[in-house]
Structure 1
Amino acid sequence: MKKIGFIGLGIMGRPMALNLLRAGADVLVNDADNNVLRMAKEQGIHTGTISAVGRECDLVFMILPNGDIVKEVIFGEGGLTSSIKKPQVICDMSSVTPAESQYCHKRLEQMGIGFADAPVSGGEPKAIDGTLSFMVGGDEQSYQLLKPYFEIMGSSSVLIGGSGSGSIAKLANQIIVNLSIAAVSEAFVLVKKAGADPRKVYEAIRGGLAGSEVLDAKLPMILKRDFTPGGKIAINHKDIKNVLETAKDQKIPLPFTAQLFQVMQALDVSGNMEDDHCGIIQYFERLAGVEVG
């Protein structure tokens, strides 16, 4: 196996890096949080500076909070391009806008360095068990180099098209996931307020057309009042903002998504941004004066 760099050891990144290590990959990691790096060392993962990752590794994976941080890690002082060896592919698994992915691709292409945008879906549980889905934008050559590692960290990967295509797919994914959670939230606030048993209603509808992976993953958490984050509202709020910025650039009206962004703004005011995104239900509960679960 090639030597793998991995930058960003958050909720998603740490289990992904661990899965690479357990599969026998030689992994060198970096994170901005020294406490996270200390825990990585305790788990047997080698750590180094960003420039060391660029200098020593054949392929680099990143999963970072936003596009500005991605650009700083790649192009900033002491960043990957200050020491990177060639040939190399940088794979950005962060949730960013297509324009940000295309910016990175164009600059790196001029340096003779490959780039793929490959955001993921599945949240922390699937990062832990290695069943993430990868949505990939880039060229075929870069994809083939990265594919064996996608197969370690996930259960599926699809090369969608050129640079930015993976990020476009992620935006579509986030619209569907978050609006689905909002729809489940509205529905079960109705169920509770109108006097039916939410658990029995869930049992009744989950096998029909209303059934979905979102319903099965999130409603049990809601019923237990478990808002421990697998995917924080804060991260999804940022993703929905990226959706609306891209839609504005493309002159695409997205009325439901725009309303969802305002729901998330209200959850920010009420201090719920660190909750799992199933915590979206708390907005609807407050409107109705009821608590589901």
Structure 2
Amino acid sequence: MTEPASTPIGFIGLGIMGGPMAANLLKAGYPVVGYDVVPAALEKFTAAGGKAADSVAAVAAESDVVITMLPDSPFVEEVVLGSGGVLEHAKPGLLLIDMSTIRPDTSVAVGTEAASRGVRALDAPVSGGEKGAIDGVLSIMVGGEEEVFAAALPVLEVLGKTIVHVGPAGAGQTVKAANQLVVGGTYALVAEAIVLLEASGVDAGRGLDVLAGGLAGSRILELKRESMVARQFAPGFRIDLHHKDMGIAIAAAREAGVALPMTGLVAQLIASARAQGYGSLDHSVLLKVLENLSGRASTA
């Protein structure tokens, strides 16, 4: 990898996560050209010093490294594999880093097609939410060839704090599926704890303060306990996206031939949140689902 100032990076998908990630690359000195279908996202990106492109093709043609951060597998398939996509317009030797959370089989397909066109590809989904993206401390789980991972590492180190090569193409997505089932399960249990504490007449905020300092402590309790007790559910990470991710986890379990009963239960709670109209809210809104099940719906 060359020095930052001479490595043009393309960034496709400048939303809640991609926007601050691209901004951090700009702060690190990389020239970044970006594309998003949402005009406001592009405007924010250019205000941070980025160069806006008018198409995926333009991003690919100008870049030595392309990062994609997209909502789901069909978007990655269209942007990377489709007509006018990244691979069709990639320079020889392009480094493609897909940081979306998608199906492992899609990442394998992207890696295979990329290799046939002389493009180096990694699947590198992230965990850490919007705050992790803003602070540049994401956890990044990377699938692909070891030498391609080594080439991408200087870029990834701008975006994350914990960066691990976990295996071949698709492995990053499998680890991300495991991450999402743990995150969803933890939110569900924290929500149940709040319901129990409040129904028992105990101050939930103080109770969670104690839990956060003991063996029950977690990153979710550290970052989200106060907002959950206050019933503040502005997204960091939307229920709609977590619903998609739990589908990926269940499909991965079926492919691996394993039973994940707790994952199935959490997936149903998240599906219920979506059915109750909470899809655009943060995944901590599972608290409202658990309150509704107990007949204790809050007015907050």
- TM-score category of the 2 structures, normalised to the smaller one: over 0.9
Q: Which runs of 4+ in 1 moved over 3 A?
A: none
Q: Which secondary structure state, in structure 2, belongs to the residue aligned with residue 133 of structure 1?
A: strand
Aligned to 1:187: 193
Q: Which runs of 5+ in 1 are unaligned?
A: none
Alignment partners' CA distance in 2, 1:141 and 1:50: 26
Alignment partners' CA distance in 2, 1:5 and 1:155: 21
Matches within 5 A, 1:1-293: 1=4, 2-48=7-53, 49-290=55-296
Whether the 8 Å CA contact 1:67–1:97 is kept in 2: the answer is yes
**Cα deviations by residue, 1:191-221 (Å, 9 ceiling, x for unpaired):** 1112111122112222211111111222111
Letter in 1 for 2:9: I
Instruction: Please provide the CA RMSD for this pair.
Output: 1.3
The Cα of 1:291 is off from its aligned counterpart by 5.2
* TM-score normalised over the length of structure 2: 0.94
Whether the 8 Å CA contact 1:192–1:291 is kept in 2: the answer is no
Whether the 8 Å CA contact 2:205–2:225 is kept in 1: the answer is no
The Cα of 1:161 is off from its aligned counterpart by 1.1
Count residues with an aligned counterpart: 293
Alignment partners' CA distance in 1, 2:272 and 2:231: 19
Q: Which runs of 5+ in 2 are unaligned?
A: none
The Cα of 1:38 is off from its aligned counterpart by 2.6
**Cα deviations by residue, 1:63-121 (Å, 9 ceiling, x for unpaired):** 10011110110121111122111111110000011111111111111111111000001
Alignment partners' CA distance in 2, 1:265 and 1:164: 25
Whether the 8 Å CA contact 1:192–1:290 is kept in 2: the answer is no
* TM-score normalised over the length of structure 1: 0.97
The Cα of 1:35 is off from its aligned counterpart by 2.8
The Cα of 1:44 is off from its aligned counterpart by 2.2
The Cα of 1:243 is off from its aligned counterpart by 0.5
